[in-house]
A = this chain, B = another copy of it.
């Protein structure tokens, strides 16, 4: 069974295919979408994913008559660099990629961002296919935001470059470690919290099946999560306004990741704490108490953290936040839930309030 949905962006619209084992159909899907066989392809992946799936992908493409070169980078955030981009371009040149070629990102968010920026900039832009292999990447693989890091800032050199398609084989998720599964589901829950109360209820009711990687639950959850992302991106491709709501939980979340040195908390864990913080802020702003209790209860059901590790320093967290986000006269733009399944972009949240929330989150149980 394969689910399909469309990211509606006019002449840049593209499909997302979700199903178990669909990597085996990659040749047929490429042909269906007019990816020609006259120009070589390049698969970019990391060492861990390559060990499991690279042969399958290049093998199936070869059987379908495609020529596919590959470039394997070390796993981890450090690969999102200009130096790695330069190496990928060298491989692309040696493999003879031309303007009609397609670059394929096979992996999680790091590979997607890196290969995506390579596709955006090689010969001023070639086609690009996302094959996410993590749950977290159901978020990052949709929407066309691609980038590499700079020594001074994350994701600061990049582009908006929409893929030709997203090919999401849920069979690749079965090899993920449990902690990564839970952290990945955090973004799925976020998509419910910002957009769809019914889906939020469904997530809570199906926490156990999702964490246990039940195929049917996983496919439905990813389908719904991608649908929310697609709907938001369709209305605001270049993040002028609405797209900001996807950052629910990210203000505190990013700061916690940074202060934890990017190895204490996974992204999904950090934003889970951040979403509990946003819910607390919501109640402080006069919204109903259940926004906080329900939000916290859901993340607890998924075994995700809902409090800030006590040894992380509040001053440091606030400094990291000020470095990451723009404060104007002590105010910050904050994504605040106004109901389960609804958020607002609040431009009037003071740094003091956020600091209070951070302090409370350190005492949360």
Contact = CB atoms under 8 A, between A and B. Distances in A.
A316 to B, nearest CB: 20
A314 interface: no
B157 A122 contact: yes
A85 B157 contact: yes
A122 to B, nearest CB: 7
A124 B86 contact: no
Determine the main DSSP class of A at the interface with B: mixed
Given A98-B326, A326-B98, A89 B124 contact: no
A120 interface: yes
A156 B93 contact: yes
Interface string A70-101: 00000000000011011001100110001000
Contact of A82 (B85, B120, B151): B85
B152 A120 contact: no
A175 B246 CA distance: 52
A123 B146 CA distance: 10
B121 A159 contact: yes
A190 interface: no
A150 interface: yes
Nearest to A117: B121
Contacts of A86: 82, 150-151, 157
A127 interface: no
A123 to B, nearest CB: 6
A121 B326 CA distance: 20
Nearest to A90: B152
Given A93-B150, A121-B121, 9 more contacts: A82-B82, A82-B86, A86-B157, A89-B156, A121-B159, A122-B156, A123-B156, A123-B158, A125-B160
Q: 4 tightest A-B contacts by CB?
A: A124-B158, A82-B82, A121-B157, A93-B152
